[in-house]
Structure formats: structure tokens, C-alpha cells
Amino acid sequence: MSGQPPAPRTGATPGKRASRKFDRRRLMALVRKESLQAMRDPSTILVAFVLPAVLLFLFAYAVSLDVREVRIGVVLESDGASAQSLAAAFSGTRYLKVTPARDRREVAAQVVSGELRGFVVIPQDFERRLASRVPQPLLQVITDGSQPNTATFVANYAQGVVQNWAISRSGGAPISAIELEPRYWFNPELESRRALVPGAIAIVMTIIGTMMTALVVAREWERGTMEAVMSTPASVVEILIGKLLPYFVLGMIATLGSAALAILVFHVPLRGSVLALMTLSAVFLIPALGQGLLISSVTRNQFLASQIALFSGFLPAFLLSGFFFEIDAMPLSIRAITYLVPARYFVSSLQTVFLAGDVWAVFIPDLAAMAAIGLLFFAIARSRTHKNLEP
């Protein structure tokens, strides 16, 4: 590259020598230097372009909350016709994959090893129980409780199968007094990918914004080059902006790329405007970058910075943002912590801008919260950086 050495030359501009204020040419030179440095490193490309694609793909296809075929056993202990027809009803369902058995001991071991997620026992005296007027269990459902969600599904679905079987036996008369008709707004086909893919963008941006910034700035401190840059006429603000601007741009490009992937490849609708999406992303980058900067200025060491960025940036964005786990269901003290996680606000707005549209009543409080947290991070980081400049 034919880049001229920036700081010393601009510093030599006559008349402006002693100025420690803002200088546009000096800033541009710093930004250029940092951008070149970032783009030269193959890991930048990996994180900004390859990782988002991989993550979005995984959230679209691998992380599916939609249950497919759950493997269960059906233990048929009775030879009666009704028992046979009920067993056939289990085999004929869309969501269960049935392993037939004659003895419950055959399937019990498979539940322990995890090959089956539960089993249904149609007992020997099934016909007698069916004919009896005394209310008593007709059959037993055993689930693998070590996977609570699958266990709930198996239990409910098995009950549904039995209900339907009973209806069809009684001649198809409606038996339920109340029927719920769920309407899922914004996501009528109930594909979990539609909710997960927009949220995944928040995770990608956290990795780019917080993790990369923390590393890049910590490296300068670790190598001692930060002091070298500090000794030039460039001011602290200029240096920090010079460092952060390239990552801001990178984050915005990654958002655009991720959004394009989400819409074109994973068929997630964008019902809101691109402008709203970009505004939200830009504002989210303030706390994300601020957090990275703060981490690096506190640790000044890449190993420590990466550990803290991982545990205070990435994992909370995944676990405490409401992207995957409902915030409402958390205990009060944890809910209090989530208010400090910028990704919480970003996820809520991202899901809205993609699936619902431009609901500014959601965006404005989220934007305000993100900006406030961001400014707080920057203020602390700035004060720490400044203090250490003066001997």
C-alpha cells in the first residue's frame, strides 16, 4: 500500500502544531491506517463475513425449536382389537417415530441411553379398563424427564393421540366444549427460524463490536504501541475514533450482509424499513463498541480481554437477551441484570423490524436504552484512557 505515514506529517502542519483538538486530516489518516490494518488480517474477514453466514445458517436449520420426529416406544401388552388400533394410531402420527415392543424392559434401557425419549404402555387389561365405568388410567406414558421440553411434548402429544382415537371410535362426535384457535401474528407458520435469525444478527454484531474491538485495542496496549500513538499530536478522542470507526463500518456491512442473507436465503420477511434496521444497528454499535473499548482499557492484555469479552459480551447476548430464553421467566435478580445487556434491546427491536414492521413505540425506548448504556461505557473508557496518559 502506498499509504504515507500519517501522524507525524499532519503533526508538522505549520500553525496547527500545538493543537490537541480535532483535526480532520489527522483523523482521516488514523482511520485509514486502522482500516488497512483490519482488512489485512484474515481473521477480520473470517469474523465479519464467514462467521455471520455460518451462524445464520445454524440458527435457520440446526437450532430448531420445532419438534420433528420424536422416537418413542409403544409397548403393546394386550392382544385385543382396541389395543391394536390404539397402537396403530400412535404409529400413524406425524411427530412420533414408534419402536414397537412387547415388554417394557426392552424399551426402558433405551430411554436411559437416550435412544428413545419415552414410551407408552398399553396394558394387558386394556379392554377391561376401557369397558369399565370407574375412571382409571387406560394406559401409561413414561417420558425421559432429563429433556424437559421433549418430555412435555411427548406427554401432551400422547394424550392428544388418545383423545383423537377416542373421538374416532365414538363416531367422530365433537367432545371438547372449548376449542382454542391460536393465531400466531407475524409468524403464522410458526417457524422458529423467523424469530431466531433476526436475533442471531444481534449475536454476530456483539462478536464484531465487542470481541474484536476489545482485542484490537488490547493488542495495542499489550505491545506498547498505544503509548507510541499517544505520544503523537493526535488527541485521545481522535485515536479512539480512528480505532473504532473501521469496526463500526465493518459492523454495518456485516448487518447488511446478514440481513440480505436472512431475507434472500432464509426467507425471513423484512416488514419494517431498511432505514429503521440500519438506525437500530448503528445505535446498537455504540454500546457494543463502547463495551469492547472499556474491556480493553481495563485489561490491556489480549487474553484477559478475550475472556471478559466472552463472558460479559457474547454469552449474555446469547443467554440474557431474550433471543432464546424468555426474560419474563427469569427470576427478578436476573431480570435486573438483563436491563444492562444492550443485546436485550437490540433483539426486541430486530424481531419487530423483521416480523412486525416499523413499530416506533418499541424502537424508541430500545434506542434510548442502547444509547444510554453506550454513552456510559464510553464515558468510563474515556476517563480511564485519559488518566493513564498523564504521568
Quickly count: other Cβ atoms within 10 Å of residue 90's Cβ.
22
Contact between residue 52 and residue 203 where contact means Cβ atoms under 8 Å apart: no
Largest CA distance in the chain: 104
Of the two residues 22 and 184, which places its CB atom closer to another protein in the complex?
A: 184
Long-range residue pairs from 138-147, CB within 8 A, at least 24 positions apart, any chain:
138/162, 139/86, 142/108, 142/111, 142/118, 143/117, 143/118, 144/111, 144/114, 144/116, 144/117, 144/118, 147/117
Of the two residues 72 and 381, which places its CB atom closer to another protein in the complex?
A: 72
Closest contact distance (angstroms) between CB of 10 and another protein is 27
Closest contact distance (angstroms) between CB of 143 and another protein is 5
Q: What's the distance, CA 285 to chain centroid? A: 16
Of the two residues 1 and 329, which places its CB atom closer to another protein in the complex?
A: 329
What Å distances lie between residue 390 and 231, 241, 331, 378, 385, CA to CA?
11, 20, 44, 19, 9
Contact between residue 208 and residue 306 where contact means Cβ atoms under 8 Å apart: no
Of the two residues 63 and 263, which places its CB atom closer to another protein in the complex?
A: 63
Closest contact distance (angstroms) between CB of 263 and another protein is 16
Closest contact distance (angstroms) between CB of 386 and another protein is 22
Give, as one character, the DSSP assignment of residue 78.
-
Closest contact distance (angstroms) between CB of 12 and another protein is 32
What is the spatial distance between Cα 76 and Cα 167, in angstroms, rounded to a whole number? 21
Of the two residues 15 and 185, which places its CB atom closer to another protein in the complex?
A: 185
Q: Letter for the amino acid at 23?
A: D
Closest contact distance (angstroms) between CB of 382 and another protein is 22
Beta bridge partners, 18, equal none
Closest contact distance (angstroms) between CB of 20 and another protein is 30
Contact between residue 1 and residue 36 where contact means Cβ atoms under 8 Å apart: yes
Of the two residues 35 and 232, which places its CB atom closer to another protein in the complex?
A: 35
Q: Letter for the amino acid at 302?
A: Q
Of the two residues 354 and 377, which places its CB atom closer to another protein in the complex?
A: 354
Of the two residues 10 and 206, which places its CB atom closer to another protein in the complex?
A: 206
Q: Listing from the earlier edge strand, what are the strands of the sheet with 118-122?
A: 96-101, 70-76, 118-122
Closest contact distance (angstroms) between CB of 53 and another protein is 11
Closest contact distance (angstroms) between CB of 265 and another protein is 15
Give, as one character, the DSSP assignment of residue 173.
-
Pairing verdict, β 96-101 and 70-76 = parallel
Of the two residues 8 and 188, which places its CB atom closer to another protein in the complex?
A: 188
Count of CA atoms in the C-beta half-sphere (13 A) of 90:
30
